[in-house]
Amino acid sequence: MMARASAGGLVAAVLLVVLAGALGFALQPYGIYLLSLWAVYTIAAIGLNLTLGFAGQMSLAQAAFVGIGAYCTALLDARGIPFPATLAIAVLLTFGVGWCVGYPALRVQGHYLAFVTLGLTTLVYLVMRNETWLTGGIGGVSNIARPWPFAHNLAYLHLCLAALLAVAAAMWWMLRSPWGRAFVALRENPVRAMSLGVDVRRYTLLAFAIGAALGGIAGAFYAPLVQYIEPSPFALGFSINLLMMVVIGGAGYFLGPFLGALVAVLLPEWLRFLQDEYLIIYAVAVILLLLFCPTGLLGLAERALARGRARGTAKAAAPVAAP
Amino acid sequence: MFWDNLDLLISGLATGATYALVATGFTLLWQTSSTVNFAQGDFVTLPAFAIIALHAAGLPLPLAMLGGLVAALIVLGAGFKLALVDPMLRHGMLPLAIAAIALGVAVQEGSKAVFGAEAFAFPGVPGGFDLGPLFINWQDMVTIAAAVVAVIALQLFLSRTRTGRCMQATAQNPSVAQILGIPVRRMIMLTFLLNAALVTLAAILISPTTLVKFDNGSSIGLAAFCAAIIGGFNQVRGAIAGGLLLGVVENFAATYGPDQYRAAVPMVLLIGFILFRPQGLLGRATERAV
C-alpha cells in the first residue's frame, strides 16, 4: 500500500480549500457557516485519521478533545486572553490529556484504547455538565468573541480555512518525513516495523496524542465560530460521527477527512426531509459502505480507477495477444 | 448502617449478575471470532422491545419471552454473524468494530422511530419479603438465581460436553482446532447463538428495574465492556467476577458518592484496572505479541 500522501494529495487539498474560500463570497451567511463547520470538522477528522488510519487505533474520544479545546478557548477568552494564546494552550492541553490517557491504554492491548476513549468522552461530558462553577453547566458559555479582525462571518471562514490549510500541510509534511513513514510501517506490519527498530508503542502513543491535539485545534476554532457552547455537542454521538467521517472518506487516505467531513456536513442538509429517520439511514449506509468497501469512498474511487486502467491496458494488449 | 450496606450489596449483586451475562456473551464473541461487539448493549434492548411488543399483541408473558428469544437467536445470533461479521472479518478487526458502532446507532435510532422516546414498564416479579431488618426484593433474588443457574449451566456445557470443549478449543486456537477436525465454523455460529440467548436473558432480568428505553443500551454496553476488561477480557469466569464487582461498586458509589457522576463509575474502575492490574481480576499477565 502506498503512503497516500502524494504531491497530488496536497495540491488537491489546496485546491479544495481555495475553492471553498472563493465559494464563501457567493454564499448566504448559513452557507458560510456550513463551510466554516466543514473546515473545523475536517481538522478534527484529520487528527482522528492519524490515529485510526495510520496508527491503526480506534479512538472514541475525538469529540472530548474538540470539547476541551472549545471550552478552553471560551473560558480563557472570557478572561481576556487573546486568541493565539488560547489556541496554544488548547493544543498543549489536549496533547497532554491525550498522552496521559493513551499511555496506560496502549500499554496493554490494542483495542483497550477504544474502551478507554469511550469512557473519557463520557467523563469529559459529565465534567462539562456538572462542574457549573467552571464550565457554566448546561447553561454553557456564551458571547465568545472572534479574534480581531475576523469578526465577520466571511473573514472568519477564511481564518478557519487558513487553519485547515496549515494543518493539512503540516500533516502532509509529517507523513512524508521518515517519522510519518514509521507510522505507515507500523500500520502495515507492526511486527516487522518493530524488528526494524520502530518503537511501536511510542509511535502509536504519539500518533494518538497528535490526533488529540488536532481535535483541540478544531475545538479552538469551533467555539468562536458558533459563539456559544454547551456540553451536548461534545457527547459520544459526535465522537461516533467523527469516526464515521474518517471511515466514509477512507481511513488512511490523506484526502479522506476532507471528503468525509463534506458528507457529514452536507448530507443532513440535503436529507432534511427525513428528519428523525436520517440517523438510521446514515448508520445503515455506513454499514453498507464498510461491508462492500472498507476503505471508504476514496478506496472505492481508487478501485474503480484501477479497474479502468486495467481494462485500458488489457485493450491495448489485446491485438498483440491475438493470433 | 450494616443492614443498609447489605441491602446495597444484594441489589448491586443483582445488577452485577446481569452485567456478567452481557459481558460473558461479549467475551465469547471476542474469543471465538475477534469480534469486538460495540452494539452489545443495544443487543440487550432489542429483545426487551420484542417481548413488550409480543406481550402487547396479546401473547401471554412466557410465550412472549420465548418469542423474544427466538427472534434474538435469528436476528442477533445468526443474522448478525452471517450478514455482518462473516463478510467483514476478513478486512480485520477495526472495520468490523466500527460497523458494530454504526449498528448500535441504527438500532437505537430505529427503536426510537418505532417505539418513541419514552420508557416502557417491563413485567417483573413484584413484592419481597422481610429477613430480619432487611427487606429483600423478589426481583433481585430471581435475577441472582437465574444468572447463577445460567452461568453454572454455561460452565458445565463448556467443560463437560463434547460440543462445549470443541467451542473452547475454537476459542483458544481456531487454526489448531480446525486441524484437529473440529467444525470451527459451526462452533463460531454456536457462540453467536449463545450470545443472543445470554443478552435475551439479561434483557428479561434487568428490564423490570431499568425499564425499557431506546438508549438503555449505551450504559449497559459500557458496563459490559468494563466488566469484561476488569475480569481479564479473555475468560468467561473473569467476565462474571468483573460484572459482579462493577454492579456492587456502582451501587455503593451511587449511594455514597455524587449522583451526577454515577455514569463515570465504570470508567474510573476501568482506568484503575488498566493502570494497576491490566491483566484483570482473574487474568494472567500475557506478553504483548506486538
Task: Decide: residue B181, CB within 10 A, 0-12 exposed, 13-18 middle, 19+ buried.
Answer: exposed
In this prediction the pTM is: 0.89
A132 CB contacts (<8 Å, ≥6 apart)?
A139
Q: Is residue B15 part of a domain?
A: yes
pLDDT score, position B42? 95
* pLDDT at residue number A121: 92
- Determine the Cα–Cα distance for residues B259 and B274; give it in Å rounded to an integer: 24
Question: Measured between beta carbons, which residues in chain B are less than 8 angstroms from residue A284?
Answer: 102, 106
Disruptive mutation site among B34, B82, B105 for chain A (greatest number of A CBs within 10 Å): B105
Confirm if B118 and B213 have CB atoms less than 8 A apart. Answer: yes
pLDDT at B290 over 80: no
Q: What is the pLDDT of residue B283?
A: 67
- At A19-35, the pLDDT tens digits run 999 998 988 989 999 99
Q: Within a domain: residue A237?
A: yes
User: pLDDT tens across B208-233, in order?
Assistant: 988 999 989 988 998 998 998 888 77
Quickly state the pLDDT bin for A243 (edges 50, 70, 90). very high
**Average pLDDT of the residues of chain A:** 87
d(CA B82, CA A128): 41
Does the pLDDT value for residue A36 go beyond 90?
Answer: yes
Q: Does residue A74 fall inside a structural domain?
A: yes
Q: How far is A108 from chain B (nearest CA, A)?
A: 6
Contacts of B271 in chain A (CB under 8 A): 104, 116, 119
Asked whether residue B50 is domain-assigned, the answer is yes
Q: How many domains does chain B have?
A: 1
- Our CA dihedral for A14, A16, A19, A25, rounded to 10 degrees, sits at -100
Residue B90, in any domain of the structure: yes
pLDDT digits (tens, 9 = 90+) for B116-175: 989 999 988 888 888 878 888 899 999 999 999 999 999 899 889 999 999 888 888 888
Do residues A47 and A69 lie in contact, with contact meaning Cβ atoms separated by under 8 Å? no
Task: Name the residue in chain A with its Cα closest to that of B285.
Answer: A108
Torsions phi, psi for B131 (to 5 deg):
-130, 95
State the pLDDT confidence band at B289, using cuts at 50, 70 and 90. Answer: very low
CATH of the domain at A163: 1.10.3470
Least confident of A70-74, A100-104, A213-217, B243-247: A100-104
Q: Do B225 and A243 touch (CB under 8 A)?
A: no
Q: What is the ipTM of this complex?
A: 0.86
Q: Which residue has the cell 413484592?
A: B127
Contact B113 A276 (CB under 8 A): yes
Q: All 3 cell numbers of residue A198? A: 520502530
Share above pLDDT 90 across residues of chain B, in percent, rounded to a whole number: 52
Classify residue A287: in a domain, yes or no. Answer: no
Tell me the mean pLDDT in the region A75-103: 93
Domain membership of residue B60 (yes or no) is yes
In a domain, A311, yes or no: no
The half-sphere exposure of A170 on its side-chain side, counting CA atoms within 13 A, is 14
In a domain, B281, yes or no: no
Q: Percent of chain B scored above 70 by pLDDT?
A: 97
Q: Is B229 close to A243, i.e. CB distance below 8 A? A: no
Start-to-end CA distance of chain B, whole Å, equals 50
Choose the closest CB to B106 out of A110, A280, A291.
A280
pLDDT of residue A316: 59
Reported as a single tens digit per residue, the pLDDT across B102-121 is 999 999 999 999 999 899 99
Q: Is the residue at A284 inside a domain?
A: no
A247–B106 C-beta distance less than 8 A:
no
Q: Which residue range(s) make up the domain with B16?
A: 2-276
Domain housing A239: 7-275
Selection from A250, A117, A284, A114 nearest residue B30 by Cα: A114
CA atoms within 13 A on the CB side of B111: 25
- Domain-located, residue B74: yes
What's the CATH number where B33 sits? 1.10.3470
Asked if the structure places residue B53 within a domain, the reply is: yes
How does the average pLDDT of chain B come out, rounded? Answer: 88
Considering its fold, how many domains does chain A have in total?
1
Chain A residues 149-168 with a CB less than 8 Å from chain B:
none
Nearest-Å Rg of the Cα atoms of chain B is 19
